[in-house]
Amino acid sequence: MSDPVASPWNNGHSTPFVELDRADWAALAPTTRLPLRETEIVQLRGLGEPLDLNEVTDVYLPLSRLLNLYAAGARQLHRATSDFLGERAQRTPFVIGVAGSVAVGKSTIARLLRELLARWEDTPRVELVTTDGFLLPNAELNRRGLMERKGFPESYDRRALLRFVAAVKSGAAEVRSPFYSHLSYDIVPDAQIVVRQPDILIVEGLNVLQPPGPGHGLAVSDLFDFTVYVDARTQDIARWYEERFLNLQRGAFSNPKSYFHRYASMTEPEARSRAREIWTEINEPNLLRNIRPTRSRATLVLRKDANHAVSKVLLRKV
């Protein structure tokens, strides 16, 4: 299945975004120095993602500069509001949401932004939390008949995620989140991630841009100061997912402790067939019904071409 990519709307109406080609975007931060070495960039790559110095310099270095400006502006606004209320200003974290499909590269982008933003003098403490930790445990998913819908909005403890981000944003000294293991494909009991008053919190996940559900007045997306949606053609993401599945089958799935160890002995044609089934039955429906419809809620959209490289940047102007 293909989908139009010239614009997220394609309806003839005006857009709230300004669209920039990669070269024009890169030119917006010509004097910003890249603080990462090539070896560090290689370590941040996801499976099958050809992230290189040019991509980081052209796309993510300007984005880190823009985020730095937004964070500084948010601090100034917070101080002004505190002064108006006659209160002592308490520094609160700047919260960034990163959304997009499975296999589109959002996790790599979130890790890269964490490293770039931590190099700015005024935001040295940057924490990254993924929404995987807020998935319901497998036992609960099975009890509710949701195991085949893992990653869909209803498979998360959305109230716990909302409470977590609200606590961090309110300046709590220490906030804990559950820990998710990709090896066991489940929440690890008694294991936690501890976040202690960061300058910036990055929250990465499939559905972080979802609006409030029926009967809920607030969604986690309402607590974000800036949001990024990673976009690509459906057919390209499907191919990336298949290739990633094969790489995992040859690597991580070979571990006897892996939840997916049963796939390790498959032939390549069998593995490709299974990857396509998972994509068609689970990941593509989630993308089309739940994830892509939230794209227009983002502050910034990164548009990727078939080679995983960002070709366009759309920045919200209103």
State the amino acid at position 174 in one-letter form. E
End-to-end CA distance of the chain: 32
What residues form the annotated binding site for ATP? Answer: 100-107
Quote the CA–CA distance of 192 and 61 in Å, as a whole number: 31
* Contact (CB, 8 A) for 163 and 133: no
What residues form the annotated binding site? Answer: 100-107
Which of 202, 231, 228 is CA-nearest to residue 309?
231
Element of type H or E holding 314: strand 310-316
| CA angle in degrees (0–180, nearest 5) for 314-308-286 | 75
Helices (H), the chain: 22-26, 38-44, 53-55, 61-85, 106-117, 138-144, 158-169, 234-250, 268-278, 284-286
Quote the CA–CA distance of 204 and 96 in Å, as a whole number: 8
* Contact (CB, 8 A) for 264 and 226: no
Which of 86, 83, 32 is CA-nearest to residue 57?
32
Structure tokens that stand for 109 in this block: 């982008």
Tokens 């319901």 — which residue? 136
The crossing angle, in degrees rounded to 10, of helices 106-117 and 61-85 is 70
